[in-house]
Amino acid sequence: MSEEDNEPAFEARVMAFGNVNFSSMAENSFNEAQKIIADYNAGELIDPEPKLRHALNMLLNVFWVAKDLRVPISKQMHSIGAALHEDYGCALEFEDGFYFTKCPNMLLHRDFGFSMRGFEKYKCSICDMDPVDCDHRSGRKYSGVECKEFAERCNICNDEISSCSHCLGETYDDVEAVKLAYVTEIVTFDVVKEPECPIARVTKIPFSKQHIANSISEDPNFGLFEYGRTIINCDHCVRCSEYNPAANDEPWSNR
C-alpha cells in the first residue's frame, strides 16, 4: 500500500479536566444554543455564521450527555448545518497533507468513545503547576486571577477555552483552585459504546487521499482539482437530516 493510500489518524478527547458536572454542562450548553437559535430566527444576529457554528458545538455536548435526546438534538443540529451550507458553504479544512473536518454534525455519527485507565499525577487548575509547588490550595477561592490557557483548557472554569465565555488576559474573582488529575502512563485504552466520560469522543475526522479522489471523481471539474489547494465543500447536512442510533450497532452486539 502506498503512503497516499494510508488512512490518516483521527483525533480524540480521552478525558475531562477536574470534577465536571456533565448534566450541568449539557443544560448550560443547551440553553446557550437555544438562545443563539432564537436570536437567529428573529433576525437579531449581526454575524450569524460563527455563532451558529458555536451553537453546533454546544449542542454536541448535549448530544453526548443526554442519550435519550440524541435524535431530536441531531435533527436540530442538521437543520442548522443545512442553513450554514446554503448561506456560507461548509469547506473542509486542510492540514498535514490531509483534508479534515471537526464539524459536530459529522462527529455525532462516530457514536463510540474511549475509556482510559492509567497512573495519574496532579496539577493546579489556576497555575498549572504541581499543587505541592504552587501557592494555591485546592478548594479555596482566589481573586485577581488572570485568565490563561493551559493545553486548550481555561484556568478560570476548566472548560475548553474555545467553548467558554472567559477572555484571555482578563482578571476574575472568586476562582476556585481545583486539583486536576492527568495521566502519565496509560494502563488500558478501550473503544466503548458509551464511555464513562461522555465527551471522550472523536474530535477530528481526516480523510485519506483515496477517499477524496473517490468522492470527487465524477465531478465535471475533476480535471482542475489541485490536492490541498482546491476548496472542497461538505454537503453532509444536505443529504442527512438526523442521527440513526442503530447505524453502528453491529460492533457492539453479542450476536
Please report, to the nearest 10 degrees, the dihedral formed by the alpha carbons of residues 53, 56, 57, 58 taken in order.
Answer: 120
Burial class (CB in 10 A: 0-12, 13-18, 19+), 223: exposed
Q: What integer pLDDT is reported at residue 3 of this predicted model?
A: 46
The C-alpha atoms of residue 237 and residue 242 are separated, in whole angstroms, by 9
Q: Is the pLDDT score of 206 beyond 80?
A: yes
Which residues 6+ apart lie within 8 Å of 233 measured at CB? 85, 89, 90, 91, 92
**Which residue did the predictor score with more confidence, 24 or 186?**
24
Q: Is the pLDDT score of 32 beyond 90?
A: yes
- Coil/strand/helix, residue 37: helix
Q: What integer pLDDT is reported at residue 253 of this predicted model?
A: 47
Other residues' Cβ atoms within 10 Å of the Cβ of residue 73: 23
Q: What integer pLDDT is reported at residue 118 of this predicted model?
A: 65
Average pLDDT over residues 134-153: 91
Retrieve residue 200's grid coordinates.
471522550
Other residues' Cβ atoms within 10 Å of the Cβ of residue 138: 14
**Planar angle of CA 125, 128, 132, nearest 5 degrees:** 90
pLDDT > 70: what percent of the chain?
Answer: 89
